[in-house]
Amino acid sequence: MNHVEPAVRLSLAVGSVALAGLLAGCGLDYGSDSFACSIHRACPEGYQCLAGVCRGAADLLAFRAIPDLGVAGAPVGVNLISNGDFGRGTTGWRNSSYVDPAPCSSANRTTPIVTDSPFNAALELRSVDGTGCGGSSSVTQDLLVDPAVYSSIILSASVKAVSTTTALTCGYSGGEAPVNIDIVYTNAGDATRNTLRWQFYYLTGASGETCGLAVDGPKLKWVLVPVQRAAWHTHQSVDIKTLIPWGAKLTSVSVMGTGWNYVGRVAQIKLMAQIP
């Protein structure tokens, strides 16, 4: 179930009771089981799943607020990712790590929560005993997002690519790094998975390294981001709507490390959608 987190303060005049009344007045019983939705239960046509409830276009106005900058009528941003600061551990995320079969089954791919200043909580992507073995340390959160509802959708995150032992630093095809973020989407009328992958890599100066050279495939588009090794980097993407076809639906977001032995960290991941 997705959690929607307003990026600005709601007016003090709109309390929880008033908000529920406004939603009901717009034609929805807020929280009603008849309008509940999830990745497994879609909304009727013309409705959008927000905070586990099907909402029509008019209902989205309930999220309009007085922005922190005091600009009345400015677009309101909502975070489509739940627990992206990992302050509640990995609640809301499922383990999606992968280890190649024997003889690589001894590789240890883990995703612990650690403290790394200035963040009290960060997701660590770690692999040990994985030399010569593919796989990933990853967590995934399911989404049910129709980008057409929003004027823009921006991915942001703080990342730290600490170390990697993968051959040629990013693997033979340039596709392995300590920190990656995937957004999976389906095209209109097609259930096939397509992936936008942000790869956060660092260069070592070694001869023949392949970082930054990953090539797009039919179902995979790379966004290659160079970062300083073992230092926090804050990234903000372009509007994701410009990277996917019209009519596509976002179905999941994953945070993962890939390669042999590596350490990467991610904190404060957000998927901010602007309501027009």
So what's the pLDDT on residue 10? 31
pLDDT of res. 131: 85
- Of 51, 3, 1, the residue nearest 28 (C-alpha): 51
Beta bridge partners of 263: 126, 163
What tokens does 99 get?
């280890």
| pLDDT for res 25 | 36
pLDDT digits (tens), the chain, 276 positions: 444 433 333 332 333 333 333 333 333 333 333 456 654 456 666 666 665 666 665 454 443 332 333 344 445 689 999 999 999 999 999 999 988 777 787 678 899 999 999 999 999 999 998 888 878 999 999 999 999 999 999 999 999 999 999 989 999 899 999 999 999 999 988 889 999 999 999 999 989 999 999 999 999 999 999 999 999 999 999 999 999 999 999 999 999 999 999 999 999 999 999 988
Q: Which long-range contacts (CB under 8 A, 24 or more apart) does 44-53 make?
A: 48/146, 48/149, 49/2, 49/144, 49/145, 50/2, 50/4, 50/78, 51/1, 51/2, 51/3, 51/4, 52/1, 52/2, 53/28
Query: Residue 16 has what pLDDT?
Result: 36
CA 57 to chain centre: 24
pLDDT of residue 231: 98
C-alpha span between 181 and 138 (Å, rounded): 9
CB–CB of 143/252 below 8 Å? yes
Q: Hey, what amino acid is at 34?
A: S
pLDDT of residue 46: 61
| Residue 101 DSSP class | S
Model confidence over 202-216: pLDDT tens digits?
A: 999 989 999 999 999
Q: How far apart are the C-alpha atoms of 199 and 176, rounded to whole Å? A: 8
Q: What is the pLDDT of residue 258?
A: 94
Residue 232: what pLDDT? Answer: 98
- Distance from CA of residue 106 to its chain's centroid? 29
Q: Which two tokens stand for residue 82?
A: 């739940």
Q: Where are the domains of the chain?
A: 5-72, 94-275
CA 92 – CA 83 distance, rounded (Å) = 7
pLDDT of residue 117: 98
β-partners of residue 270 are 156
> Radius of gyration of the chain from Cα atoms?
20
| Topology at the third CATH level for domain 94-275 | Jelly Rolls (2.60.120)
- In order of 42, 147, 209, the CA distances from 161 in angstroms are 37, 30, 16
